[in-house]
Amino acid sequence: MKFLLVAGARPNFMKIAPIMEAFRKRREDLKNLDVLLLHTGQHYDPKMSDGFFEDLHIPQPDINLGVGSGTHAQQTARVMIAFEEVCMRERPDWVLVVGDVNSTMACTITAKKLGIRVAHVEAGLRSWDMSMPEEINRLCTDVLADLLFTTDPIADANLRREGVAPEKIRFAGNTMIDTLLLHMDRARALPLPGGLRAGGFAVLTLHRPGNVDHRQTLCSLFGAIRDIAARIPVVFPAHPRTVGRLKEFGLLDQIQGENSIRLLDPLSYLPFIGLVTHSRMVLTDSGGIQEETTVLGVPCITMRPNTERPITCEIGTNILVGTDPDRIRAAAMAVLDGQTRPSSIPERWDGHAAERIVDALLA
């Protein structure tokens, strides 16, 4: 049996790491098990890629397609062309993709057209918002995949509603949380950046095109963030896309000049989780961070109109506030005033999702 595992962008790496490890353990008994790791190169900066491989002890990829950045069509097409050659050469029995980035969809389409079976990890998440490129990637991937591993029962229900045969759907749990549970003590023990004390700062991440690509939206978000920073220092590890836009809109110098907003380069996995663990709250437009904060018990204010991860709002620490600066301010001030609600951790986010996935694939 030959498995070809695909990772392409930053949020993929923590999802693939425990699956690689679960396969490594099984390979000790199963001599005819062949597992290859492929990196599409969608993310390529050391701070967006290599640091995660080092922190999470992910083996160096067997293959790197080196596709880099581009428009959606360019990036997707480059992945498809290069991945097709790999599939024709390697002839895997299964391709395994994770998450919802362009690489996920591109490799799924390519493999299926060559008659290769596809497993999708983190299937069934839906924001119902077709302006998000990730929603298109999720829909295309899930309609084609042969085995769909879900993180929660809401995702199972979404897939069933879309007509996916129940026997293809497996409620496995969350491999990103496998990684979090394995590494959080190591992350928590790291020193905080100078001048910060545990519980005395907020973390900000912002990178969605819908939030950062339009001057007016970005300015108005930073209006709210400045007001929050007047009460608590805000640490902001910034995505390269966001730094590019801040520069373009003439906001970068202003933000760098603010004492209470600390702009950092993107952080690798351990320092980032260390920061979140010790923070008072997180302000974000990321998907995965909504889940990590729920497990860590840190209040999360999500600056998006919708979420594909509603379970984090239903039982976790996540509050969806959209991009209205008044709502963002009010939610943050409520947290700072001690108004937090009880939260719990979703079922099967227990550190064993990758084992369940590998067992199902080998069965």
Residue ranges binding ligand UD1 (CB under 6 A): 9-11, 42-45, 48, 69, 75, 100-102, 133-134, 207, 239-241, 244
User: Beta-strand (E) ranges in the chain?
Assistant: 2-7, 34-39, 63-64, 94-98, 117-123, 147-150, 169-171, 202-204, 234-237, 261-264, 281-284, 300-302, 318-320
Q: Annotated catalytic, 207?
A: yes
Angle (CA) 39 21 14, round 5°: 55
Of 207, 239, 278, 352, catalytic:
207
Closer of 105 and 164 to ligand UD1 (Cβ): 105
CA distance 159 to 142: 8
Q: How far is the CB of 225 from ligand UD1 (least distance, A)?
A: 19
CA distance 311 to 246: 32
Q: How far is the CB of 85 from ligand UD1 (least distance, A)?
A: 21
CA distance 319 to 332: 10
Q: How far is the CB of 307 from ligand UD1 (least distance, A)?
A: 13
Angle between helices 10-27 and 353-362 (to 10 degrees): 60
**Token duo for residue 110:** 């390519």
| SS3 annotation, 336-350 | HCCCCCCCCCCCCCC
Q: How far is the CB of 214 from ligand UD1 (least distance, A)?
A: 14
Say how many C-beta atoms besides its own lie within 10 A of residue 104's C-beta. Answer: 28
Q: How far is the CB of 48 from ligand UD1 (least distance, A)?
A: 4
Task: Note whether 238 and 272 are within 8 A (CB).
Answer: no
Closer of 45 and 85 to ligand UD1 (Cβ): 45
Closer of 75 and 179 to ligand UD1 (Cβ): 75
List residues bridging with 19 in a β-sheet.
none
Closer of 95 and 358 to ligand UD1 (Cβ): 95
Closer of 4 and 98 to ligand UD1 (Cβ): 98
Residue numbers annotated as active site: 207
